[in-house]
Amino acid sequence: MKSIASAPAKIILFGEHFIVYGGKAILCSINKRITVESELTKTGQIEIESSLGKLKISKSDTYKNTDSVLRPIVYIAQRMFEKFHSESGIKITIKAEFPSGVGLGSSSACCVAAAGSISGLFGNHTKEEILKIAIDAERTIFENTSGADCTACVYGGILEYSKDGHIRKLEFLPKFDLVVANSGITHSTSKVVSMVKQFKDERQETFSSLCTQEADLIEDALACLQRNDLTKLGKLMTQNQEFLEKIGVSNDTLRSMISLAKDASYGAKLTGAGDGGCIIALADKTNLEKTQSALAKKYECFSAKIDTRGLEQGSA
Ligand code: PMV
């Protein structure tokens, strides 16, 4: 039997970086997915095939020795083998509909889909159990993950979260399209987070004032999302981008992408850590095509909607 699970990509709509210093952020899952298929084998090995590379190790080799982005997947397989005292090997195949390393949450989606798929080989697990396994797995490579990305992947929809662990799924579902454009520049989240820390240490007053302004902006954004006021929401995105410019996480490529998108859409900003990665532009059916063609002239881009499916599991 093959156990199959899929989980969505995520996007940070508002609040990246400021969240590290106590603010809130708003994120949503989108309709681009990672699918993981797994089946038990008699090889005594853990075999993984994905666009991020291939891995074949003995199941008794600890995940800690796996020097690869695939370490969380090895962790999940070993955790399940241990829990269920299994003698089997396992073959795992990962397929993604979106690129990795550009702030779209490929690592979390991979962990959630792998936790869903691999746990499915050993019986039923609740979504809460799968979320816990996925967050523990992601911690094997990102020790300080807030868990918000994995939560969005499991439940879908749109959520607000803060670093102290507060995660709230919004009960309403705004209607909009996003155009996601990829700068093609991969970034290191931890490097960009350190740059912002340096900015904060050197310019404490400016940074603290920006944190206050961002907190107000997030409250406005939550109200706009609730009444689906895309005109105002777009303006808030553009304003959020200005704050991100001030703390130094934008660059020329992102600026030129945002300026391509700005006139066609309701508003645009970088998403995630910045200094590369992706931008998002807010649209609906009236301006989606225009926005996408403005960006597609120079950049890889796709349109996305909020995903409501979250984690899905099945078998074949
Ligand atoms: O680019 P991503 O998806 O890794 O997002 C990073 C978001 C930050 O706020 C910059 C860091 C964090 O831990 O929240």
Ligand 1 center from residue 171 Cα (angstroms):
24
Question: What pTM was computed for the model?
Answer: 0.92
Ligand 1 center from residue 58 Cα (angstroms):
33
Atom of ligand 1 nearest to the CA of 146: 13
Q: Which of 61, 67, 149, 275 is catalytic?
A: 149
Atom of ligand 1 nearest to the CA of 18: 9
Return the percent helix, strand and coil in the chain, to nearest 5: 40, 25, 30
Residue 247 Ramachandran class (φ > 0 left, ψ -120 to 50 alpha, else beta): alpha
User: Could you tell which of 13, 16, 30, 280 is best to mutate to test the pocket of ligand 1, judged by most ligand atoms within 8 Å of the CB?
Assistant: 16
Tell me what percent of the residues of the chain surpass a pLDDT of 90.
Answer: 89
Ligand 1 center from residue 261 Cα (angstroms):
22
Task: Supply the angle between the helices 127-138 and 106-120 in degrees, to the nearest 10.
Answer: 130
Ligand 1 center from residue 5 Cα (angstroms):
25
The token duo for 223 is 């109200």
Q: How many residues does the chain have?
A: 316
Round to whole Å and give the CA distance between 78 and 84.
Answer: 10
Query: Nearest Cα to 31, choosing from 225, 230, 180?
Result: 180
What are the tens digits of pLDDT across the range 287-299?
999 999 999 999 9
CA distances from 270 to 12, 166, 215 (A): 9, 24, 18
Ligand 1 center from residue 139 Cα (angstroms):
14
Mean pLDDT of 256-267: 96
Tally DSSP H helices, then E strands, for the chain.
9, 12
Atom of ligand 1 nearest to the CA of 15: 9
User: Could you tell which of 27, 29, 180, 189 is best to mutate to test the pocket of ligand 1, judged by most ligand atoms within 8 Å of the CB?
Assistant: 189
Asked if residue 188 has pLDDT above 90, the reply is: no
Atom of ligand 1 nearest to the CA of 104: 3
Residue with tokens 């020790």: 143
Active site residue 177: no
Q: How many CB atoms lie within 10 A of CB 242?
A: 12
Work out the widest C-alpha separation in the chain, in whole angstroms. Answer: 62
User: Could you tell which of 27, 161, 193, 280 is best to mutate to test the pocket of ligand 1, judged by most ligand atoms within 8 Å of the CB?
Assistant: 193
pLDDT band, very low/low/confident/very high, at 69 (cuts 50, 70, 90): confident
Which residues line the pocket of ligand 1, CB cutoff 6 A? 12, 16-17, 19-20, 103, 105, 189, 193, 272-273, 277
- Give the pLDDT confidence score for residue 143 in this predicted structure: 83
- The closest residue, in CA terms, to atom 3 on ligand 1 is 103
Asked if residue 144 has pLDDT above 80, the reply is: no
125 phi, psi to nearest 5 deg: -130, 145
Q: Are 168 and 27 in contact (CB under 8 A)?
A: no
Tell me what percent of the residues of the chain surpass a pLDDT of 70.
Answer: 100
Element of type H or E holding 187 = none
